[in-house]
Chains A and B, each alone.
Chain A
């Protein structure tokens, strides 16, 4: 360890009140807009009892003998955007993949601890990770549309999970494309190959593809890092819009981006969660020395 880097001396400060095992405060079957209204009355800056959708309890992940994520305890609030920030290799992307068990595909990776998704431990032996990913979707750093038509890309998950017949699938495809603001751009060429779209359009298509199957949580792994500023702005705008219907966890290297579009921010450093708080607090008055150093660009 280099002495130039700040030391991690204190336990992570988590301000969100989250009594374990509490039933969700909002009725899941109630109309979504109604839930959001009731939540938005409270300012996000203050520590509030936002019902968590995912509760991470003492999660560690080891690659062989190397710990990539160490003893992270964190609650991800429902219908909020949670940003994960930190220097490269700090374990934030690995942590993100733990949330829908995409880390299952990494050889030699072992996890310990618990991740509760709506009070279900997703690492329990009986859990089928394939069913889990139907509820917790993911968008990757590099846009990865399938080399198929635009329509087939969005319809992929719908057909996979047999969510409706041909006619209703068309409506759902249109709805998903409208949500990401892509419908007007592509409605005349739905049969064209998705790889003909521009980079930003491809990434929005990937988001449309992920939300078409109506997941509860959307994990985003640096979704805008390969895009130009205009496309990035569109993605950020989209994130703010999507949090009405989905809980979003976003990994980003771009601190301004975290500041602009997240409600909560978690700072990771060397596999540990240093600080988790409302975004205003993290950027305004970080409690940990390391967080402050990172925010102000002194390392990372």
Chain B
């Protein structure tokens, strides 16, 4: 027999309210409403639409990767060969040879050779013979797009020692990639050395130390710098900065790594500043209050509490700045002097990998070895940035985890304490 609860309100008033009717009504209503399908078809449509759009981004990246990889795949597989055959082919015998053999001899794609008439082929072979006869060069028998030639120094005919040379338009095309990637890294590192301290100091000042009105002015102005097109920055460097620095430092080469790095730093500062400033502003103000309530100065509270707390964000800002520095093309193309010189000096010209692609792709015949090598550079850049991003992301996750106090491997170890455990001592 279930106990019937005495309702204090009912027993007090003595009246019996029509509870049954109300609850019956509610039950009937619930029978229909609870089984209704929620959401309209419009919501479903929008949701699916957004899903497709987000997939498109992934698809686009995949497509770019496939495109770049496809163009340089023959090179990676060793199917491209720049070596000319040692034997000259008599022009009369040209018609007897297969299109493939002629293609190799003329270093032209097969598709272009195949439709040509025998007379045209004869002329082409004759002019090729003349070219080879005029410049007898043992290097011309080399395959300059083989991996050792791409990556290792080589002593060319006219050189006294083995060197890394990028010279894709000489008679013997030299495709060593080292000067380009060295140039990229040199400019990126130099510009980061300038931009990181400046932008982090600015971020710390604006987010922590500046008064309200100063912050209201400085922050948007620095962020406005991000809106300046890189071609304008390159123009500024090319015309104004280059002359100014040459006058100041008196170096020989007007357009050089240093000028390009300064201009590139101007492009990096707003990127690094914005993210670092956001990260610092996101740290709760209560941390700062706690430090100040213990007698910390504004500066101490910022450096010992706020900056460590914002460190993952600051790290992300620097990584993003590095990505921008490696990838930036227009500024370095205009201001670096573009000579592919492998030199440790910052007052020498240099050519970056991105600038090489931008400057040379239009001149390289489609499917020629030069064209393939430029795509290989693009492929390598893609891989570098991808691996770099993944690596940075892993570090970022670790930093965040440490800051948010998830157990790391080192936290699991008990703290080395000389104190005996009181519980153990008792038992």
Contacts and interface: CB of A to CB of B under 8 A. Distances in A.
A36 to B, nearest CB: 25
Contacts of B411: 189, 191-193
A134 interface: yes
Contact of A184 (B405, B406, B407, B422): B422
Interface string A141-154: 01011111000000
B414 A188 contact: yes
Interface in B369-427: 402-407, 410-411, 414-415, 417, 419, 422
Contacts of A196: 405-407
Interface stretch (B165-173, B239-247, B291-299): B291-299
B294 A213 contact: yes
A295 B297 CA distance: 40
B30 interface: no
Nearest to A184: B422
A29 B244 CA distance: 66
Contacts of A102: 289, 292-293
Interface in B278-323: 284, 286-287, 289-297, 300, 304-305, 308-309
B212 interface: yes
A210 interface: yes
Interface in A121-149: 130-134, 137-138, 140, 142, 144-148
Given A140-B286, A184-B422, A192-B405, A133 B305 contact: no
A18 B407 CA distance: 54
Nearest to B308: A148
A209 B294 contact: yes
B294 A156 contact: yes
B284 to A, nearest CB: 7
Tell me if A's interface is mostly helix, strand, loop or mixed.
helix
Best-surrounded residue of A142, A144, A206, A210 (most CB of chain B within 10 A)? A144
A175 interface: no
Interface size class of A (residues with CB under 8 A): 35 or more
Nearest to B311: A147
A187 B415 CA distance: 7
Nearest to B417: A187
Contacts of B404: 147, 193, 195
A194 interface: yes
A100 B295 CA distance: 10
A213 B308 CA distance: 22
Contact of A160 (B284, B300, B407, B419): B300
Best-surrounded residue of B290, B293, B403, B407 (most CB of chain A within 10 A)? B293
A133 B405 contact: no
Contacts of A133: 292-295
Contact of B295 (A131, A144, A189, A193): A131
Contacts of B402: 193
B296 A130 contact: yes
A278 to B, nearest CB: 28
A157 interface: yes
A39 interface: no
Nearest to B419: A187
Contact of B293 (A100, A184, A190): A100
Contact of B212 (A107, A130, A134, A144): A107
Given A107-B212, A157-B295, A144 B415 contact: no
B300 A147 contact: no
Nearest to A191: B415
A191 B417 CA distance: 11
A146 B290 contact: yes
B405 A147 contact: yes
A144 B286 contact: yes
A11 B374 CA distance: 87
A108 to B, nearest CB: 11
Contacts of B304: 156, 160
Interface in B322-360: none
A165 interface: no
Contacts of B406: 196
Contact of A210 (B293, B296, B297, B305): B293
Given A160-B304, A192-B411, 17 more contacts: A102-B292, A102-B293, A105-B289, A105-B292, A147-B403, A156-B294, A157-B296, A187-B419, A188-B415, A190-B415, A191-B410, A191-B415, A192-B405, A195-B405, A196-B406, A209-B294, A210-B293
Interface of B: 212, 284, 286-287, 289-297, 300, 304-305, 308-309, 402-407, 410-411, 414-415, 417, 419, 422
Closest 6 CB pairs of A and B: A193-B405, A134-B295, A138-B293, A196-B405, A144-B286, A133-B295
Interface of A: 100, 102, 105, 107, 130-134, 137-138, 140, 142, 144-148, 156-157, 160-161, 184, 187-196, 206, 209-210, 213
5 contacts: A134-B295, A138-B289, A140-B286, A160-B296, A191-B411
